Structure 1
């Protein structure tokens, strides 16, 4: 690397650390600053990445064709898509779906802070990705104390190559992260770089009493929430959420549901009613509302249907169960501030009634945001709670 390239890299690294500090509201801790300086982010990105396009999709950015843009991407405080469609790149990028990424550096360092690490601690990382996070952990704790697991063989190969090229040698495993890695257990910390809809029991079992599990959480309703659980000696774990975050869902937790393939059938005869509750108050509302719905509604998800080619219907909100057994549709004719909306419901559950009850619960409890919610794991399952674990319900 030339002196000019070295100086550009150093300037970019300093600028990125400043951006991270602004996001955190304080300087990056000295131990993590040293790790970042020893682990240049551009060395962990593949030669081809995918960036947002003007039409809202993705477009290729190749290091050889656009070196300046690629390098700027490496040192921007943004997530970078590093794989699409599980490695099977489509000819038409309108069909591109992100399947692996490098997280935004600010969230990487926020999670490292939340881990509250000390020398000698052993860490299991779920979701190796590019290997960047494992490298930072290895710099701080030593290779022998870091185990990282990734389900995709091609991603594992890239991460191993990146780590080796940068002088790191943690234990890198190709496998299903939801199972953890018992061969190196117990761990002081387990950290996931993908979101989950339920915390795998194995992660709790492989963590020492007093240890912590840090995981991005999501539900079928909403993607967002960073959960830090403290593991207890009786096999339970409990903790609260911090500020919003969004990660790719763990592959083994994915749902492939389509309204008109899996849910709504031609022979369904829904019941008709009306509601005074606006569909936008439900599904186009602030994070506080959506986060509460994710914890109260459990297995419900929604989708908007604009211009559904129905008389007097401009927009339709669909809500359905993840097993496809029950659904509801709420219609709007486009009238501003309408007093009533038509509701159609089908199946053994009246899911729109459940949605309205959850919204009323949220209003009655003072419109709680993510910081008032928590989750407790027991051998029997997981329970969400508001303000205190005693005020809980099963998820």
Structure 2
């Protein structure tokens, strides 16, 4: 199949994907014309790495070498990595860490639907990426109503070029989007396309009272996020909203969480840690599904400044917890069918005790779903709550 034939087939596939997303209720009627008019193929690089949802792996896809596969991937509801390792990656094999991408079309459209934009609104987008979402917003609102900020200069330049080719002309800026862009604010709507661990208050200040902020948000405990739709209060000082759909976004560069595991155990395992036992199992804690299990969302709220790593080998799950403000750590090997397991944990925090305490809190409150929780952002920081902002966690 030639490139032209592949492109024509992709247009048909894109229309079919739009039909599927409309049937699922993800693509709303007001966004359907923009989706049809602005296919994401025009915003993807010649070499990219579509994500296989089944195998949870990425494989290179080169438009010049295999145009049929490239265009098919562009019109498929999968995330596509477009940059590895902050641009230091070379070659065609996947890099170590994906650092820029084109999100799943279903997620992009869900976030845009949550924005509830109206004619005349001004929108600030944090994280331009390929430029596709900015193009959709521009088609809907006009280029003079859309400002998009990208931290990576190379990514921003590629997005500008793609937007120009598509005839879409929002304001594209290079810089730290978490600072916002007050010069062209305030904004009626703000959308962030990078996972956040703290919500910058500057974005609340630059969104009008009654305006909306849509973003992926999560704790430092795992890489999982939840979409959050914050409503700015009428006095403009606070913003709050419920957690919604589970997602996983690349994290804002200034908020990435990393640890040097060797620094926690300079003398080897178990160091000076104390040993105890636990009755918490891998399935009860959700270690098998950290991207969606409600308890790990709650644990992230109740066990702050902590990173969880886990790995399954056969019938055993190894779990490590690392304190991010000190050298506290905890480790456990949880074997399927075994009622109690040994835990090692070090001073000063005793992180496993904090985790099991969080589990008792969660089950004691009826094991509430993640969607019952929300966050409020104030000048002093953020707070989490259950069901109602007055019921702080």
TM-score w.r.t. length of structure 1: 0.91
Give the match for residue 158 of structure 1.
158
8 Å CA contact retained: 1:58, 1:96: no
Equivalent-residue separation in structure 1 for 2:236 and 2:209 (angstroms) = 8
Match for residue 301 of structure 1 among 298, 307, 310? 307
**CA shift at 1:209, angstroms?**
0.7
Q: Secondary structure at the match of 1:221?
A: coil
Equivalent-residue separation in structure 2 for 1:2 and 1:97 (angstroms) = 30
**CA shift at 1:354, angstroms?**
0.5
Equivalent-residue separation in structure 2 for 1:256 and 1:364 (angstroms) = 32
What aligned pairs does 1:63-78 form with structure 2 within 5 A after superposition?
63-78=63-78
Give the match for residue 240 of structure 1.
242
Equivalent-residue separation in structure 2 for 1:8 and 1:279 (angstroms) = 45
Q: Secondary structure at the match of 1:31?
A: coil
**CA shift at 1:341, angstroms?**
1.2
8 Å CA contact retained: 1:326, 1:350: yes
Match for residue 281 of structure 2 among 272, 278, 282? 278
**CA shift at 1:319, angstroms?**
1.1
Give the match for residue 259 of structure 2.
257
What aligned pairs does 1:49-128 form with structure 2 within 5 A after superposition?
49-52=48-51, 57-91=57-91, 93=93, 95-128=95-128
Equivalent-residue separation in structure 1 for 2:177 and 2:10 (angstroms) = 33
How many residue pairs get aligned? The number is 384
Equivalent-residue separation in structure 1 for 2:13 and 2:200 (angstroms) = 38
Tell whether 2:208 aligns with 1:213. no
Cα separation, partners in 2 of 1:81 and 1:12, compared to 1, 3 Å: same
User: Unaligned stretches of 5+ in structure 2?
Assistant: none
**CA shift at 1:84, angstroms?**
0.9
8 Å CA contact retained: 2:205, 2:236: no
8 Å CA contact retained: 1:292, 1:369: no
Cα separation, partners in 2 of 1:322 and 1:272, compared to 1, 3 Å: same
**1:204-256: CA deviation from partner (whole Å, max 9, x where unpaired):** 01111111111101212231200111112141111112221221111111122
Cα separation, partners in 2 of 1:315 and 1:6, compared to 1, 3 Å: closer
**CA shift at 1:113, angstroms?**
0.8
8 Å CA contact retained: 1:276, 1:340: yes
Give the match for residue 40 of structure 2.
41
Equivalent-residue separation in structure 2 for 1:239 and 1:297 (angstroms) = 21
Equivalent-residue separation in structure 2 for 1:2 and 1:305 (angstroms) = 42
What aligned pairs does 1:315-330 form with structure 2 within 5 A after superposition?
315-330=317-332
**CA shift at 1:19, angstroms?**
2.4
Cα separation, partners in 2 of 1:274 and 1:263, compared to 1, 3 Å: same
Equivalent-residue separation in structure 2 for 1:244 and 1:59 (angstroms) = 24
TM-score w.r.t. length of structure 2: 0.91
8 Å CA contact retained: 1:193, 1:216: yes
8 Å CA contact retained: 2:18, 2:36: no
Equivalent-residue separation in structure 1 for 2:11 and 2:92 (angstroms) = 37
**CA shift at 1:279, angstroms?**
4.1
Tell whether 2:365 aligns with 1:365. yes
**CA shift at 1:185, angstroms?**
1.0
